A and B are shown apart, each in its own frame.
Chain A
Amino acid sequence: MADRLEALARRVQSDPAFLAAALADYAHSEGLDERGLAAALGCLPGQLSRLRLCRRPRDEPTGQLRRDVEQIAARFGVRADVLAEAVRRSNALAALRRAGEPERGTLMAARDREDDVAPADNPSGEP
């Protein structure tokens, strides 16, 4: 039973819809292993699978994140402040990742354009 839940919890670790992804980001950024993460949350390592299978707390509407975090924390007896920090940090990391993507795209597009424009096609040299 625990093995199957654990396998499923591992599977959803890359799915941002689940709390697993946020906890993975948090553990990674804090350098925590399984035991360390459980200790930070104030639970036993065996409880992590069920926790990871929760839905990621929602950002909106205002106050929803806190309500979701408190509901999860109360259900599993974990520290709401650490859980909230984990979700916020993961959200921030996700935003940074998103912000990085268009930038790379723009740079690549600019480079393509530069390559594409032959001197004869652009005698004035303007972009």
Chain B
Amino acid sequence: MLSESSPARPSPEAALALHQRLLDGDPVASSDLAGAYLDWLATWLTHVNPHDEPHMCNTAAEDAILGLIKRPEAYNPAKLGLEAYLRMAAKRDLQNLRSRERRHSQHRADLAAVELSPRAGKYLSDADEDPARIVERREEDMANATELAPRLEAARDGLSDEEAAALELLRQGKRETPPYAAALGITHLPLAEQRRQVKRVKDKLKKRLERAGGPHG
């Protein structure tokens, strides 16, 4: 599999020489480093992190290679082999990417959840309103859990079990079709039909939430 036997990777001695060429400013060394290690590193990272998106593993491998090209002095060959160093660097870069991705996902979920706020209509229709401020206000609103709970309860009244499950997904800020399709039990339908039905249910639930919020929200 991953290739301790990969033909492209240099021997430890050749790796040392390659690192020295990077230090010396050899203009071809960066290309040789990428050519020798990028594919191996990305493949290894994808293999040991099967739950991460492959493109994230590729990016992390790129980051590790570029990091060494930009700062070859950061690597001390007396302490670690070049492959071990690159693996460590790539793992760290993948962790950083995950953290960044989590922050973005959270931000997206917050923005989506703003739609549930009874004040959202006002915020979103205000052209001068800063989206970050919208999220901030929504967080202030949500800090008081007692405010949302009765509305959810009221909105849930009369819903089928499937629709109630979809309401819970909406509350969590989920946007993608598949979890809703699963909750509604329509995954056997063609994708376009799933999307249509999910949209219809989401619209219905949002309207119920708005109504449950009352005129003063």
Contact = CB atoms under 8 A, between A and B. Distances in A.
A55 B38 contact: no
Interface in B7-48: 8, 25-31, 34-35, 38-39, 42
Among B8, B28, B61, max chain A CB count under 10 A is at B28
Contact of B30 (A11, A18, A68, A71): A18
Contacts of B35: 5, 50, 53
Interface of B: 8, 25-31, 34-35, 38-39, 42, 58, 61-62, 65-66, 69-70
B102 to A, nearest CB: 23
Given A4-B58, A8-B65, A11-B62, A56 B27 contact: yes
A110 B58 CA distance: 48
Contacts of B25: 55, 58
B20 to A, nearest CB: 15
Nearest to A75: B28
Interface of A: 1, 4-5, 7-8, 11-12, 17-19, 50-51, 53-58, 68, 71-72, 75
Given A4-B38, A4-B42, A58-B25, A53 B30 contact: yes
A72 B58 contact: no
Among A12, A55, A58, max chain B CB count under 10 A is at A55
A19 B29 CA distance: 12
Among B31, B39, B42, B69, max chain A CB count under 10 A is at B31
B30 A57 contact: no
Contact of B38 (A8, A19, A51, A56): A8
A54 B26 CA distance: 9
A101 to B, nearest CB: 24
Given A7-B58, A8-B65, A1 B39 contact: yes
B66 A12 contact: yes
A71 B27 contact: yes
Contacts of A55: 25-30, 69
A47 to B, nearest CB: 11
17 contacts: A1-B8, A4-B58, A4-B62, A5-B35, A8-B62, A8-B65, A17-B70, A19-B27, A53-B31, A54-B28, A54-B31, A55-B26, A55-B27, A55-B30, A68-B27, A71-B26, A72-B27
A53 B22 CA distance: 13
Given A5-B35, A58-B25, 18 more contacts: A4-B62, A5-B34, A5-B39, A7-B62, A8-B34, A8-B38, A8-B65, A11-B62, A18-B30, A50-B35, A51-B31, A54-B28, A54-B31, A55-B28, A55-B30, A57-B27, A68-B27, A71-B28
